[in-house]
Amino acid sequence: AQSVTQLGSHVSVSEGALVLLRCNYSSSVPPYLFWYVQYPNQGLQLLLKYTTGATLVKGINGFEAEFKKSETSFHLTKPSAHMSDAAEYFCAVTFTGGGNKLTFGTGTQLKVEL
């Protein structure tokens, strides 16, 4: 069975500072990993995904994540936070043969302060 742990339900950063949102996964088979963002009263928007190949993945809005198999991690980073990045972020996992059943983490609420 797959699972995802997101450390820190709330993260606060200053505008222009580094954003680091942590995600660790557990999977007995090679995982597919995703980061989604959710703005208030909206659905989820895909930021980036890792399936196979390059372990450093670049996504939209300047976000990137690195798949580290040895650490079972897929942390999300952005060099410089913007006010518009304030939202809730979800890490999710599935695997080949798992269809489209995503297992989500509990989410991290990102606050960006002036």
Partner 1 sequence: KAGVTQTPRYLIKTRGQQVTLSCSPISGHRSVSWYQQTPGQGLQFLFEYFSETQRNKGNFPGRFSGRQFSNSRSEMNVSTLELGDSALYLCASSPATVSNEQFFGPGTRLTVL
Contact call for residue 56 and partner 1 (CB under 8 A)? no
Q: Which residues of 97-111 are buried (b: 16+ CB within 10 A; e: fewer)?
A: eeeeebbebebbebe
Choose one: 16-24, 56-64, 69-77, 91-99; the region binding partner 1 (CB under 8 A): 91-99
Contact call for residue 32 and partner 1 (CB under 8 A)? yes
Query: Backbone phi, then psi, for 45, in 5-degree steps?
Result: -120, 130
Which of 62/98 has CB closer to partner 1? 98
Query: Where do contacts with partner 1 occur on this chain (CB under 8 A)?
Result: 32, 34, 36, 41-46, 49, 51, 90, 92, 94, 96, 98-107
